[in-house]
Structure 1
Amino acid sequence: MTDTATPRKTALDATHRALGATMTDFAGWDMPLRYASEREEHQAVRTRAGLFDLSHMGELTVTGPQAGELLDYALVGNLSKLKSGRARYTMICDESGGILDDLIVYRLQEETYLVVANAANSQVVLDALRERQSGFDAVVRDDREAYALIAVQGPESAGILKGLTDADLDGLKYYAGLPGTVAGVEALIARTGYTGEDGFELFVAPGDAVAVWEAVTEAGAGVGLVPCGLSCRDTLRLEAGMPLYGHELSTRTTPFDAGLGRIVKFEKETNGGRFVGREPLEAAAERAASNPPRKLVGLIAEGRRVPRAGYPVVAADGTVIGEVTSGAPSPTLGKPVAIAYVDPAHAEPGTAGVAVDIRGTHEPYEVVALPFYKRQR
């Protein structure tokens, strides 16, 4: 790997700069933050389509006769039961049940899985998988240099891609992926995303990234597709109630703390039911069912001031009852919103008297259930 002091560049770096993107160092990569207006980019994804470069994500391939068993042991999900061509959202935890990263795993073939990790955690995930592969007839391969990742997100995304691919997009279910061609080059086409909208993620060779980006841009010009940066991706995922590692998720939280206990599969049949972090996660499941220390909730502002990660959430008497993990203006709702961990006594939607301490002023917020936004299907 290259020196992390110098941000790495994706295969589309020159394209972003030619489009006038504002670039930023994100997880050791030089990435587009925005091209013009992040609000307009956000609204384009909600109403038309947006085009994202996600090549900073980390792709790891697990192959071999016991690839599924290895992933069952290493991750919290039941990946050996995943059908070929399908994908699953899951997590990798440490021995104490803390979250090392949240992942999407694709089963490409019977003995081949693609694990997609967050950029900042990809080396941690690779190291953990290799450490945990001992005793399994499986190989963990670092394929981070083998892929560029381009996402087309929004209600017009399927229509844009149909003229560029030989794949059956109508038959491609949500959280499924299949090999095909896009703009004449080989790709893994997945119906996944991080925006709350319908969309596709295209895994292609880095050398093909510019051609695919340009072809999608041309195909989407008539329906208002725009290039989108990381800033609007964050507000899109925030509105959709999707967690972000380092904010809602960390080694200090378990999947049950984050309200995602459903992805932990205690009923696994492989490895005698053993997997890393099982016993602490069983205890976390019991706490979540009877006496959870905190709950993840949504907060909608009554005023205009924007909360940020780390701001205290307070009760009417000023007692600190939680902490904001993510906050931003919501272009869809027209108000600031936040995700926060709060005491269970103040976690029910409609709880009165809740505020966020924004630089010494207690700004009133309404407690709501997540997500803030859910697309019409």
Structure 2
Amino acid sequence: MAKRLFLEDEHKKLKAKFFEFADWWMPLEYVGTVKEHLTVRNAVGIFDISHMGRIIVNGKNSKNLLQYITSNDINKLYPGKAQYSLVLTPQGTIMDDIIVYMISEEEFLLIVNAINTEKIFNWLLENNKKFNVYIEDITLQTNLLAIQGPKAEETMQKYTNYPLSNIPYYHFKKDKIVNKNVLISRTGYTGEDGFEIVVSIDDVKEIFNIFTQEEKITPCGLGARDTLRLEMGYPLYGHELDENTTPWEANLGWVVKLEKGEFIGKDALIDKRNKKTKVLNGFELMENGIPRAGYEVYNQKEKIGYVTSGNYSPILKRGIGLLYTNSVYEEVRIKGRDKLLKAKVVKPPFIKNTSIKKGEKKNVS
């Protein structure tokens, strides 16, 4: 049975349409995916993303454990800094993509994909034997809200005394919103400026209702979250990323720090660095149609790959997507509903000049 959000009743009051995603019963949309998408691009929207896993790692060897099980360099972190990283299998393939928050020199918070929460929690426990740190899954004790869009900062600032302009991209601050203890992180998965807020289940309803009722922030579902991330070319676990894919193939070599020392998957990554079996890229349809994950990709009559993510872009007003192919192509054909649709291969992001601040537009899944 699907897990339920703590705020499910509040979403029902807002007329959410639900669907099952990653073993959770989640809002798909409220007033319509396209309208919610455009609201985030132009103003501000709020998402309940509490399905994402939240795991605390605490102890004097926490940094050493995380350095061993993640691909990025934990030593680049300092309290208040967040880092995008990968958890890899011993074979060098992607077990999950995560965000690591350094709360103190000994305490870290991991945000992991919902479908992988139990897997990553158990992987941490399995590799903790020689590090002996405290590991706790706090997913059901907390909620995670995302306030995203170019007006996110000015909207949120009314409810906290801490100057949000002091939080750079991929940094966070523990402070208060309407006198409730929260962790405020300048991160997101939309390509716009915004914040993600970790808050206890005791306090989340008041904060959520202030933003949706008093501020009239548009609630947004996973439908809009998906089209927003797709326009930026951000990968999604289970689509572009999985345990059959290496960071080299997924264009995530920038979060692999081979020079940092030993970590799980390193030897395999070195061996596979020049042995890619597929190429990840973006595409735009050159004729009417909406591509979907799983559609086959052809070069004339030869099958050369498959679509990993596809949808309609509300900004470009055409079908876009991500695909894996066996080589590099400039133009391909997408097979959907027994029709071959012409598409040009492009390098994401599909849209530029969004409101992300501090000049960094890396994936923030």
TM-score (normalised: structure 2):
0.95
2:295 maps to amino acid:
Y
Q: 1:109 and 1:179 mapped to 2: Cα distance?
A: 11
- 8 Å CA contact 1:105–1:113 kept in 2: the answer is yes
* Cα deviations by residue, 1:146-188 (Å, 9 ceiling, x for unpaired): 2101110000000001011122211101011110111220000
Q: 2:141 and 2:169 mapped to 1: Cα distance?
A: 24
Q: 1:260 and 1:173 mapped to 2: Cα distance?
A: 22
* Cα deviations by residue, 1:131-159 (Å, 9 ceiling, x for unpaired): 11111142221211221011100000000
Q: Does 1:98 align with 2:93?
A: yes
Q: Which residue of the partner structure matches residue 267 of structure 2?
A: 279
Q: 1:284 to 1:220 in 2, by over 3 A?
A: farther
Q: Which residue of the partner structure matches residue 144 of structure 2?
A: 149
Q: 1:266 aligns with which of 239, 254, 258?
A: 258
Offset of residue 110 of structure 1: 1.2
Alignment coverage as a number of residue pairs? 355
Q: 2:292 aligns with which of 288, 305, 308?
A: 308
Q: Does 1:332 align with 2:315?
A: yes
1:334 maps to amino acid:
K
Offset of residue 374 of structure 1: 2.9
Q: 1:370 aligns with which of 345, 348, 356?
A: 348
Offset of residue 9 of structure 1: 1.7
- 8 Å CA contact 2:191–2:354 kept in 1: the answer is no
2:252 maps to amino acid:
L
Q: 1:249 and 1:35 mapped to 2: Cα distance?
A: 28
Where do residues 155-174 of structure 1 align in structure 2 (5 Å cutoff)?
155-174=150-169
Q: 2:293 and 2:303 mapped to 1: Cα distance?
A: 15
- The SS at the match of 2:227 is helix
* Cα deviations by residue, 1:56-102 (Å, 9 ceiling, x for unpaired): 11100111111111001011111133111000111111111111111
Q: 1:143 and 1:374 mapped to 2: Cα distance?
A: 36
* Cα deviations by residue, 1:9-58 (Å, 9 ceiling, x for unpaired): 22211100011110112222211110021100000000001110011111
* Cα deviations by residue, 1:273-309 (Å, 9 ceiling, x for unpaired): 211111111122233xxxx322111110111111111
Q: 1:175 and 1:219 mapped to 2: Cα distance?
A: 28
Q: 2:209 and 2:161 mapped to 1: Cα distance?
A: 18
Q: Which residue of the partner structure matches residue 238 of structure 2?
A: 246
Q: Does 1:79 align with 2:68?
A: no
Q: 1:143 and 1:37 mapped to 2: Cα distance?
A: 32
Q: Does 1:234 align with 2:218?
A: no
1:333 maps to amino acid:
L
Q: Determine what percentage of the aligned residue pairs are the same residue.
A: 37
- The SS at the match of 1:201 is strand
| Unaligned segments of structure 1, at least 5 residues | none
Q: 2:228 and 2:102 mapped to 1: Cα distance?
A: 27
Offset of residue 218 of structure 1: 4.2
2:281 maps to amino acid:
V
1:293 maps to amino acid:
T
Q: Which residue of the partner structure matches residue 61 of structure 2?
A: 66
Q: Does 1:35 align with 2:26?
A: no
- 8 Å CA contact 1:312–1:356 kept in 2: the answer is yes
Cα RMSD (Å)? 1.2
* Cα deviations by residue, 1:352-374 (Å, 9 ceiling, x for unpaired): 4x110112211100111111123
- 8 Å CA contact 1:196–1:374 kept in 2: the answer is no
- The SS at the match of 1:121 is helix
Q: Does 1:357 align with 2:335?
A: yes
- The SS at the match of 1:166 is coil
1:257 maps to amino acid:
E
Q: 1:10 and 1:184 mapped to 2: Cα distance?
A: 23
- 8 Å CA contact 1:261–1:285 kept in 2: the answer is no
Q: 2:190 aligns with which of 192, 195, 199?
A: 195
1:42 maps to amino acid:
H
- 8 Å CA contact 1:39–1:232 kept in 2: the answer is yes
- 8 Å CA contact 2:311–2:321 kept in 1: the answer is yes
- 8 Å CA contact 1:64–1:111 kept in 2: the answer is yes
1:336 maps to amino acid:
G
Q: Does 1:50 align with 2:33?
A: no
Q: Which residue of the partner structure matches residue 360 of structure 2?
A: none
Where do residues 201-212 of structure 1 align in structure 2 (5 Å cutoff)?
201-212=196-207
- 8 Å CA contact 2:192–2:354 kept in 1: the answer is no
- 8 Å CA contact 1:154–1:198 kept in 2: the answer is yes
Offset of residue 106 of structure 1: 0.3
- The SS at the match of 2:122 is helix
| Unaligned segments of structure 2, at least 5 residues | 356-365
* Cα deviations by residue, 1:108-132 (Å, 9 ceiling, x for unpaired): 1111000011111000000001111
Offset of residue 219 of structure 1: 5.1
2:29 maps to amino acid:
R
Where do residues 108-119 of structure 1 align in structure 2 (5 Å cutoff)?
108-119=103-114
